[in-house]
Amino acid sequence: MHFKTVILTLVLTCLTGTLVFAQGTKSREDIPEQYKWKPEHIYASIEDWQKDMDFLKTTVDDLAAFKGRFAGEKAEDPAQSLIAYNDLAEEAWKKFERTWTYVMYNSDVDLANSVWTGRLQQLQMMAVDYGQKLAWVDPELLQIPQETMHQYIAQNPKLEAYRKAYDDLYARQEHVLSEPEERILALSGNVTGTSSDVYGKLTDVDMRWGYILDENGDSVEVSDASWVTWRANPNRRVREDFFKTLFTGYKNYGTTMAALMNGNVKKNVYLAQARNYENTLQAALKGQFIPEQVYTNLVETARKNTAPLHKYNEVRKRLLGVDALRHWDYYVGVMDLPEERYTWEQGVAMVTDALKPLGQQYTTDITSGLNPGSGWVDPFTSQSKRGGAYSSGSYGTHPYMLYNFDYDKGLSLDDVSTIAHEVGHAMHSYYSEKTQPFPNKDYAIFNAEVASTTNEAIMNHKILEQARQEYKKAKGEAKKLAKQKLMALLENNISGARDTFYRQTMFATWEWEVNKMAENGQPITAEALNELYLNLYKEFQGPVMEFTDLSAVEWSYIPHFYRGYYVFSYATSYAAAVALASDIIAESQGDKKKKGAADRYLAYLASGSAKHPVELLKDAGVDMTTAAPVEAFTQWFGAMVNELDKLSTEK
């Protein structure tokens, strides 16, 4: 069992929510009990949690004692030793997941409580301890010839569940180091994250940007976290002031930001070279069995198909009625969607109704999980609660979903879409755990966003079709309102697709180029990073968008660059999800050519890591090693832009 993998997975799950306290007006006590998740489903008490912690503290040495029993002179019965090791390691892994998630769920609804923070730090240190004390495992396993390992498996059915894990290890053999080297790399985990840690502390705690006046003349403090809200403010002067104040702050720290990014990419180069990879991209993808062509196809095909995005910017400029489309106009909506608010129960009903094409069992399962009394969900924001939304879980417990909706105002349409997104993640975990043996229960990050985004795509299709029918049937004044609603929904879908696909692909392109600069020994300076970023911005967004020098420093605002070739998976997942959703919807409407689309997709959700990530998507119906899904996505995007353009110009 690889505890460095466990800790990475759990930490990345944490980061899907922002690290900023949710600014709710209600205290936790003011939220009704049925709208709070139940960590007590994991442990009934902190004493029960401590028992598993005590087990984990001693078990690491029990596992380390297996050294020499798989291969070498002491290895009298390697197959039985492997079985015994796996049994104990599985138990430890399960308990580690449970102890971690229990603390995380209690911490995330009360970030002001330092006791839970301290317990998370305990678990992080424990993961490092496991990593360095068990660094010998992979090198020793590789002393067993693969044919011999297959004989062990054939003679001992209890090893069958580990066949893929062992074969994957042999496939990575050239990148597995000796035991002393593996131990050194495990210990280096305490320092290789320094750039990321310092960046987080600098931007979350130390940096201050100053103040602006809002549309009412009131003073407002500028922060990077609140840019997400203020960038969509209807008042253009306010957006401009906020943008300039925020990114002037980042520009003023340009030398420091460049030094942190330099340390970040040099860490990537160090780890790639240490493990004998040709470059950082290969190091990031090969270990996950993702062909490099998936990444290169995405970048190259998207760059060839930016015309629909350029046209969208032309339509936005016309609808906004501005002399020039500036960076601070990027996020503001061009059409007002009539305000509608929903209760949690109404939002859940909308989600389950939209997802009927996935079948009765799927809708039954999500209805049960989203029932507030189930203990799976924590929907509403409160003081000191982690912001954002995520889904997570641990083996042997149900999934948990955190949201941050306004209890008093109710849910917006975007909030309802977020329900669909996170429950997609939850079902992916739920079905994989129910179906796969323990070693294959977890799915790759590359596959994770497909499950959530497919749900959103199916739901958005239904909402758009309903709006199209309403517009078609409406007359007189009602037709004007129906048209406004349809245009607003179209624009919302287009802008979401733009941000998740084109913008993330632009990020992926920048990240790739910066890593290549480090590989080639080129200086990583603020000037070089800014120039590269601004040039890519202009290429992707086209001639209608006009940028200032401050736009060039936006890279320093993006924390995902410290996660190493991660952002591309948002774009590939979106393209795959649109293709899968289209087939599922077509099947539900009677298209015989798409027969079996929903069943293939549900099988994908239940596959965990039974196959490599790209192969699982192929089985579901999408081949991301080709340009076809990306090209199809840009055509789908372009069709929505053309529809919005037509609606906006017709009398």
- The residues assigned a catalytic role are 422
Question: Residues near 268 by Cβ (< 8 Å), separated by ≥ 6?
Answer: 280, 283, 284, 515, 518, 564
Q: For residue 104, which of 394, 318, 326 has the smallest C-alpha distance?
A: 394
Helix (H, G, I), strand (E, B) or coil at 43: coil
Phi then psi for residue 216, to 5 deg, are -100, 5
401 forms bridges with which residues in the sheet?
A: 377, 391
CA–CA distance, 288 with 331 (Å, rounded to integer):
34
Strands 219-221, 211-213: pairing is antiparallel
Coil, strand or helix at 146: helix
CA dist., res. 40 & res. 23, Å (int): 26
Please tell me the number of Cα atoms within 13 Å of 431 on its side-chain side.
20
Q: What share of the chain is helix, strand, coil (3-state, %, to 5)?
A: 70, 5, 25
- Residue from 491, 460, 482 nearest 578 by CA: 460
Cα separation, 595 vs 605, whole angstroms: 18
DSSP code per residue over 449-502? HHHHHHHHHHHHHHHHHHHHHHHHH--THHHHHHHHHHHHHHHHHHHHHIIIII
Q: If residue 377 lies in a helix (H) or strand (E), which one and from where to where?
A: strand 377-380
**Phi, psi torsion values for 207, nearest 5 degrees:** -75, 140
DSSP per residue, 68-89: TSSSSTT-SSHHHHHHHHHHHH
Dihedral of CA atoms 477, 483, 488, 493 in degrees, nearest 10, equals 160
For residue 258, give Cα distances in angstroms to 434, 526, 559: 46, 5, 13
One DSSP character per residue, 314-336 reads HHHHHHHT-SSEEGGGSSS-SSP
φ, ψ of residue 182 in degrees (nearest 5): -65, -35
- Phi, psi at residue 640, to the nearest 5°? -70, -40
d(CA 10, CA 19): 15
